[in-house]
Chains A and B, each alone.
Chain A
């Protein structure tokens, strides 16, 4: 079983809609989770991190964490074409707290 499962998409939403991205994880000991956005040919950039159950909002982005169900999600409200990218969830683990990434979800926001 993979440590992080992510709906691979691709996902297309119209401009202005809500995009929903999801990850499930297998390690119940995981405490914190990160969402990264990666444009083609670029390195990942951090969008949000969350470590408490519930929702965390930052502008148009909301991260949701449910430790009992072992899933973490990212909602993007009022999606814009500039949000079109691959979104990666990740969590730190191992002795060095290295990030383990999901496979990524390619999001396309249609104008």
Chain B
């Protein structure tokens, strides 16, 4: 079946540093990638939608300069959290959309200390 590989699974970083999260579709082409954030005991909240080769579309209230999304190919999308702060600590999940429907990555637990 369709697989999206997301790395890293866990990351701890110091406040003020940047963290990059990668999502790769292993056996299909992801025309669209969705990035979600999930706080403890909350549901998934869509942050942004990206299409290969074009700029990402950010949801209201999500800072595009803080959460940089690159979707340079049909198999790779990255989310970079720039100048991370403790309030950015969350579970980040990517989801690829292609001919196989929606496929989720395994998630990245980001802790900013």
User: B34–A98 contact, CB under 8 A?
Assistant: yes
Q: Say what secondary structure dominates the interface of chain B.
A: strand
Please name the 9 residue pairs, one residue from A and one from B, whose CB atoms are nearest each other, closest first. A43-B107, A96-B49, A43-B104, A101-B44, A101-B43, A103-B43, A104-B43, A43-B93, A43-B106
User: B93–A99 contact, CB under 8 A?
Assistant: no
Q: Which B residues lie at the A interface, using CB under 8 A?
A: 6, 32, 34, 42-46, 49, 51, 57, 91, 93, 95, 97, 101-102, 104-107, 109
User: A100–B46 contact, CB under 8 A?
Assistant: yes
Q: Which A residues lie at the B interface, using CB under 8 A?
A: 34, 41-46, 49, 88, 92, 96-104
Closest beta carbon of chain B to A25's beta carbon, Å: 14
How far does the alpha carbon of A98 sit from the alpha carbon of B95 in the complex, in Å?
Answer: 9
User: B107–A98 contact, CB under 8 A?
Assistant: no
Which residues of chain A are near B51, meaning CB under 8 Å? Answer: 96
Q: Which of B43, B101, B109 contacts A102 (CB 8 A)?
A: B43
User: A99–B43 contact, CB under 8 A?
Assistant: no
